[in-house]
Amino acid sequence: MYKNKHVFARCHRITEILYLLMVAFSFYLLLTSRTGEAHTIWEVLNPYFIPTLLATTFLLITILFTSEKVSYKLILVIAHSILIHSFFSIVLPAGDLSAQRMTLGRIRLVYDNAVLHGYTPWNMGLLSQIYEWFRGITFQAALSVVLARMLSIDLLWVHLFLVPVLWGVFVPVASFLTAKIISKEENVALFSSLLISAFPYATYFGAISVSNSLGFVFFFYSLYFMLKDFSSNDSRNKILMLVFSFFSLLSHNLTGIMSLSLLILALAFKSYKSEKNSSPTAAKASLLISFIFCASLLPLSFVYLRYFQPATYTLSDTAFTLNKFSDRPIEEIVGLFFLGELTYAFDLKTTLLFIIGPTIALLWMMLYILHFVKRSSDVEFKTCIFFVFAVLSIVLVDYRIMKLFMERLPINEERLWVFQDFLAVPFVALAIYDVRSSVKGYLNARPAPIVSIADLKTLSRRSILSLSSVILALNIVIPMFLAGWIALSVNAAYPHVAPLQTTWYELEAVKYIEENTHEKYVVIGDQWTTFAGEAIVGVNNPRAYYFLEFNRTVYDLFHKMLEDPSPQVMIESMNVNNATVAYFIVTEPRLGIEEFNRVVSQTLKNQQLRVLGVFGGGKLYVFAYKKT
């Protein structure tokens, strides 16, 4: 017996070491895929990566089935989680070309001490100033800048890895803790910590460094402490749920308002629990009113946000509407109601990957409520399940309200799917665990327990066949199915269509300008040049000025330069920051070969404009003009 235990322990260690080696190999494959010129990561990803990820995930799931210590298993899940959220940060030289780059562009200004009091580029009233402080970017800027200075690492690196690492570490832990409260089973909780990677939208938000992602992390912990508070009277839980709700608000208004709604709902559930015996009707009515109030908070908050936003914000006039019903055919409305944005853009496989998790969770939750919760005498357990069901209902209702009854929202409604994923994952884990337990139960119920191969002789051929198929299902098919699901979800999480990402020569040009200019300067270029500038010096930096991404002035200046490259346009651009040097950048893949060649040859003819540098083997030209 002791010998068997020893052998098992050794097997565990070998499997864990093999798993860690495979994780390291996966990171290496990502590193070898690193490129300076690509549209999506899939164009350049090493062909061995996905099979390796599949095998690594399979190995991890088999480790989760073992009797190893929970903390060790969680560390292995965390390593896996960091791996799958680091694709953008490792493969692309400046990360994904999305909101995360714009965030970096603004945080750069704080890092370079170019602005005071956070990123507040406009003259604003007090309300708008307060709004800017609580916008999330200020909190993310503070965290990134403090970490960058502590580590003495450039902000670009800290920014790129901030969310993938924080998400990779803390979301599986939160998922574990939440699932443990709901299921009271450590194995279900461990599944849950891994299965969060099977939700594509959550994976995407864990891969980009935006303040909303930080907000989601804090939201998950506020949810956990709310659930914990149902079963414990420790005042620390109350403090912690308030603390994490506050940080959720500080990180992003979406997650903040959602946490606030949940706080109110949690209080309503608590008061229902204490009042239901004395006045059941009043308690039920108050719970229902609280539910309706909490569900309406988020949509209403978007409408009233306009009173805080500066007038320069273009998307501040959010309103309720019925226009969508009159403008669109009924099939589209039905599609939007059930599938949301998935109605338009994706193929069947991707749609399935996005909806399978939440659908399983919803079905299992209902099954749980109908069969187990009603019979259970555990009041805290019942409260937890009903609370999670109520929160999921709020998310589902709010998404439909925002999708069908609102217009000009400042965010895309699909961000609510991340809340849905967080709430769904414990129930998906529970469903899988229950299926596995049923198969295991079938195996245990066999009349003749198998002790050794020799015992097989006593069984009929049919019994041997059925037993082997059950063992196969338990140890191979279920882990393989889960590993495949996670790998496919990762594939669906990262975009397959995108514009050309910031190239290595665009970054090199921006760096070269920064290192070789000692005066104030301004850069005229397209929005892609701005995106490159954001990675190195930021936007609206008074010393090194790159215009905002969609700025009309720079659009006009750039097009004037394309039509007629002249110093007058460069001089005009210098007024923006009293610069003495102006640069004009043109890039071949952005303009097209013909247009690029024409602009370059025309600019070269102008003696007043000198070539500062040619990058990317002639794909990018930087022209300079210095005020005399």
Partner 1 sequence: MKGSLSFNTIERSVVRNKKLKYTAISYSAILAILMNLASFQSPLIGSIASIIYLLINAMFLGNAFFEKESDFFRFMFGILLLTTLLGFVGWLALIIYNLDTLRVTLVLVVVATSSSLLNRRMKHRNVQK
- Which residue ranges make up the site for partner 1 (CB under 8 A)? 70-71, 74-75, 110-111, 113, 115-118, 133, 138-143, 145-147, 149-153, 166, 169-170, 173, 177, 218, 221, 236, 240, 243, 247, 250
Q: Minimal distance in Å, beta carbon 259 to partner 1?
A: 14
Euclidean distance between CA atoms 493 and 88, whole angstroms: 11
Q: Which is nearer to partner 1, 173 or 456 (CB)?
A: 173
CA distance 584 to 525: 6
Which residue's CB is nearer to partner 1, number 133 or number 346? 133
Which lies closer to partner 1 via its Cβ, residue 149 or residue 328? Answer: 149
Nearest alpha carbon to residue 59 among 11, 115, 107, 129 = 11
137 or 570: whose CB is closer to partner 1?
137
Burial of residue 326 (CB within 10 Å: 0-12, 13-18, 19+) is: exposed
Least distance from C-beta 245 to partner 1, angstroms?
Answer: 12
**With contact defined as beta carbons under 8 Å apart, do 245 and 263 qualify?**
yes
CA separation for the pair 505, 526 (Å, rounded): 15
Judge whether 402 and 336 are in contact, CB under 8 Å.
no
Q: How far is the CB of 105 from partner 1 (least distance, A)?
A: 17
Amino acid letter, residue 335:
G
146 versus 464: smaller Cβ distance to partner 1:
146
CA-wise closest residue to 326 among 394, 391, 385, 407: 407
DSSP code of residue 92:
S
Please answer whether residues 582 and 624 qualify as being in contact, where contact means their C-beta atoms are separated by less than 8 angstroms.
Answer: yes
Q: Which lies closer to partner 1 via its Cβ, residue 44 or residue 243? A: 243
Is 236 or 598 the residue whose CB approaches partner 1 more closely?
Answer: 236
Q: How far is the CB of 157 from partner 1 (least distance, A)?
A: 9
The nearest distance, CB 126 to partner 1, in angstroms, is 13
Q: Report CA Rg, the chain.
A: 28
**In the complex, least distance from residue 504 CB atom to partner 1, rounded to whole angstroms:** 22
CB of 104 to partner 1, least distance (A): 15
Residues 6+ apart with CB under 8 A from 354: 200, 201, 342, 346, 417, 492
Shortest CB 537 distance to partner 1, Å: 17
Judged by CB, which is closer to partner 1: 74, or 428? 74
Residue 236 amino acid letter = R
Burial of 628 (0-12, 13-18, 19+ CB in 10 A): exposed
Query: 171 or 362, CB closer to partner 1?
Result: 171
Picking from 559, 223, 596, the residue whose alpha carbon sits closest to that of residue 384 is 223
Q: Tell me the β-bridge partners of 624.
A: 583, 610
Q: Give min distance, CB of 140 to partner 1, in A.
A: 8
Closest CB 90 distance from partner 1, rounded Å: 18
Burial of 618 (0-12, 13-18, 19+ CB in 10 A): exposed
- Considering beta carbons, is residue 88 or 247 the nearer one to partner 1? 247
Pairing of strands 544-546, 581-587: unpaired
Comparing C-alpha atoms, which of 95, 90, 91, 59 is closest to residue 77?
Answer: 59
Q: Tell me how far, at minimum, the Cβ of 251 lies from partner 1, in Å.
A: 9
Residue count of the chain, please give it.
Answer: 628
How many whole angstroms separate alpha carbon 180 and alpha carbon 150?
A: 35
| Residue burial 90-123, b: 16+ Cβ < 10 Å; e: rest | bbbbbbbbbebbbbbbbbbbbbbebbeebbbeee
Alpha-carbon distance of 166 to 149, in angstroms, equals 18
Residue 232 token pair? 């414990």
Please tell me the chain's helix, strand, coil percentages from 3-state DSSP, rounded to the nearest 5: 70, 5, 25
Which C-beta is closer to partner 1: that of 71 or that of 274? 71
CB of 175 to partner 1, least distance (A): 13
By C-beta, is 143 or 474 nearer to partner 1?
143
Amino acid at 392: L
